[in-house]
Structure 1
Amino acid sequence: MRWPFGPVAHIRQQGAARHRCRAETRGRLARRARFALTMILGIGTAGAEVPAVTPTPEQALTGVVQALRAGQQQDALAQLQALTVREPTFRIAQLLYGDLLAARAGRDITVPLRDGDDSTLQALAEEVQLRLSAEANAPGADTVPNAVIALNPAHRHLVTVDLTRARLYLLEQSGDSLELRYHHYAAIGRNGTRKESEGDLRTPVGIYRITDWIDDRVLPELYGAGALPVSYPNPWDRFHGRTGHGIWLHGVPRDTYTRAPRSSEGCVTMANDDLRALRPRVQLGETPVVFSDELSWRSVSEQAAERDAWLARLGRWRERWSAVDTEGYLAFYHPDFTAPGLDRDAFADHKRRVNASKTFIDIEMEAPDIFHYPGTDTPTVMARFRMRYRSNNFQSESIKQQFWRQDAAGEWKIFREETPSS
């Protein structure tokens, strides 16, 4: 998809910072540039820290804003000059640079715009707000995403996308510690979140896995440096009748730095450099990806307490099954439970028949992934784990995926159970 606004043609040449851009009418350029600066000067950046060495383009933009708000226009101009040389397709920086050059020529850049209904200007305003707000309100130390309860130690990384704030977070796990490594801007579907059907131009909400890497050599230029497909639709999506396919994390055309906040057909898009940095940190088929439009951050201590409670709950479920205590095992299942092709009564009858022939059952569980599942009307917890089953007459190894909900008494019970192929 084409970017909704073109690069700015600089008003004056500033040494090595001069960039040749597409032609556009001067009046529209002036309105866009003035609009961008007006928006930025009205957004606070308290708490944002710009690193002393090699800031990201977004952090560099924050430094520019801090200089402008402090009245240091010359410093802001110098920083923008460096940023536009470094990232000539970063169009917000180009717009601001052109505006500051216009200010040096005596043009008034503080007059509010009257064409605020212009969709291009609104997209620009939204992108500016999202970027600067994210830098100013980065998650604190010793916090984790609210979706996370437990993560299998085999996962080195977790990818979380805050769809509402157009932000991707990469977290790294070491032992029991889950720490934020970096975050950056990431755009989403044209029509927002909560994908339901093929072609609705929405980004899904849920827990997924990165399944593959597709190199840019086999993709159209639209996808930039490549693509990381995710496992939409997953079993939970199919249970709810959701359709569609081809939801990817991917790059952008090389003539732009990033796309507008809502501009894809449902994928999550990011700067090509950000995609290249992400690729070696994901394990295909394993790395969890959280797409959420209700993301918040909570303390590690709160998450650890909930993790321990859920690990104990799963342990009790396993113990009842291993003890061939069929009725005790079935007590963990919600009155509205279903499995593929079975309601609770049929499931219970099946388990009673199977267990009648068992002299022993041995269940081994690997460390589970446990998440608060985003986007549900009723609070739902997903547990996913690899399980080895052995009895006197059967053995198997599989992945089990459970969705837990509270019953009328407030007790957590298994509402849905699947055995996905991967």
Structure 2
Amino acid sequence: MKIMLTKLFFLPVFFSSFALADNIYNDQHQKTKRIPAYVIDLPSSVSDIFIADAASETMFRYSKTRDGIIKKDERYMSIGLEGVGKKFSGDQKTPLGIYFITKKLDTSNLAPKYGIAAYPLDYPNAWDKYNGRTGYGIWIHGVDEKKPNRPPQDTDGCLALSNQELLLLEKNLRPDVTPVIVTRNINWVSEEDIKRLRFDFQKALEMWRISLKEGDLSTYLSFYDKKFQSGDMDFYQWSEYQSKLFENVKIEDIVFENMMMFSDPEESDLFLSKFTQTVRTIDGSLKNNKRLYWRLSSNQWYIVSEDST
């Protein structure tokens, strides 16, 4: 009887010890879990993120879940004949940065090398133009059915996937929604790093929004880097342009929707916020899609470029 009681007493302690150890492991796993450094925040409207890792010749698909950003699958890809880091038209390099699919092309009347489908990316974007990068026609596309096996570096700068993979991903490649991040090799950070960065980034965006809403021109312009450029306007031209807007337009409210936040894969202090902005005035509302490129310098956030559509 004494032996039986000892066993009965020992079993709960034994199992509770395993449960405690499991909880400790899960807590430590959450703290040490590493994720790609580039996705800071996504709205519910974005389900998939593609990360093209040139070093491993792999296109990864990540998805946003309740548990954070998780890898869903991966596939082989081919990039530019001359590698990555596109600067000029015709250099046969794949651009590095944060891009978005603009539309789906019907490839039935195009050259066979584009395969079953093609999805143009928005290269050159505002940041590419800021840096004087030129070129066009950077797509995610398929392969020639008669020559399906392409070497790792075999395109004019596009990202080539197998036709079968493109068919499987058709519902995940959504124009103006799906981000495609092209990097030399993936940089990994902890989820805690992303949370801290998200908090600071959201704070900067909210302060920028409030200054615009309240017509505080001085505070608003303090968010802009002296090397700022938007289209043909530099910082001083932009300041003059905004000054006239602040005088003539009385804003009642500004609303952000579909906010996306990213860290640049090439420049560790460069960030992108992409969102839909609605400006409400006494005369009506204006809605547009906006991208702000931010530089984080000495814990201060500065806008270096922006565009709207």
Alignment of 1:22-421 (within 5 A): 142-175=33-66, 177-376=68-267, 379-393=269-283, 395-407=285-297, 409-419=298-308, 421=309
Q: Is the 8 A contact 1:194 1:375 kept in 2?
A: no
Deviation at 1:303, TM superposition (A): 1.6
Deviation at 1:152, TM superposition (A): 2.4
1:346-381 Cα distance to aligned partner (Å, 9 max, x none): 3223333322345543111114211112334x7211
Q: Is the 8 A contact 1:292 1:375 kept in 2?
A: yes
Task: State the TM-score, normalized to the length of structure 2.
Answer: 0.82
Pick closer, same or farther for the CA change 1:220–1:302 going to 2, 3 Å. same
Q: Distance in 2 between matches of 1:187 and 1:206?
A: 17
Q: Distance in 1 between matches of 2:245 and 2:108?
A: 52
Structure 2 residue aligned with 1:69? none
Q: Is the 8 A contact 1:337 1:415 kept in 2?
A: yes
- When the two chains are superposed, the root-mean-square deviation of aligned CA atoms in Å is 2.2
1:236-276 Cα distance to aligned partner (Å, 9 max, x none): 22222222222111222224443111111111112222121
- 2:166 match: secondary structure: helix
Give the number of the structure with larger relative contact order, counting CA–CA contacts within 8 Å between residues 6 or more apart. Answer: 2
Pick closer, same or farther for the CA change 1:244–1:339 going to 2, 3 Å. closer
Letter in 2 for 1:233: P
Task: State the TM-score, normalized to the length of structure 1.
Answer: 0.61
Q: Which has the higher helix share?
A: 1
- 1:217 match: secondary structure: coil
Q: Is the 8 A contact 1:358 1:393 kept in 2?
A: no
Larger Rg: 1
Pick closer, same or farther for the CA change 1:341–1:246 going to 2, 3 Å. closer
Letter in 1 for 2:277: M
Letter in 2 for 1:386: T
Deviation at 1:198, TM superposition (A): 1.6
1:377-397 Cα distance to aligned partner (Å, 9 max, x none): x72111111101122356311
- 1:280 match: secondary structure: coil
Unaligned runs of at least 5 residues, structure 2:
1-31
Q: Distance in 1 between matches of 2:104 and 2:245?
A: 42
Q: Distance in 2 between matches of 1:214 and 1:356?
A: 44
Q: Distance in 2 between matches of 1:383 and 1:359?
A: 25
Q: Which has the higher strand share?
A: 2
Identity %: 28
Letter in 2 for 1:240: N
Equivalenced residues, count: 278
Unaligned runs of at least 5 residues, structure 1:
1-140
1:215-235 Cα distance to aligned partner (Å, 9 max, x none): 443333222322222111222
Dislocated runs of 4+, deviation >4 Å = none
Q: Is the 8 A contact 2:249 2:281 kept in 1?
A: yes
Q: Distance in 2 between matches of 1:357 and 1:210?
A: 36
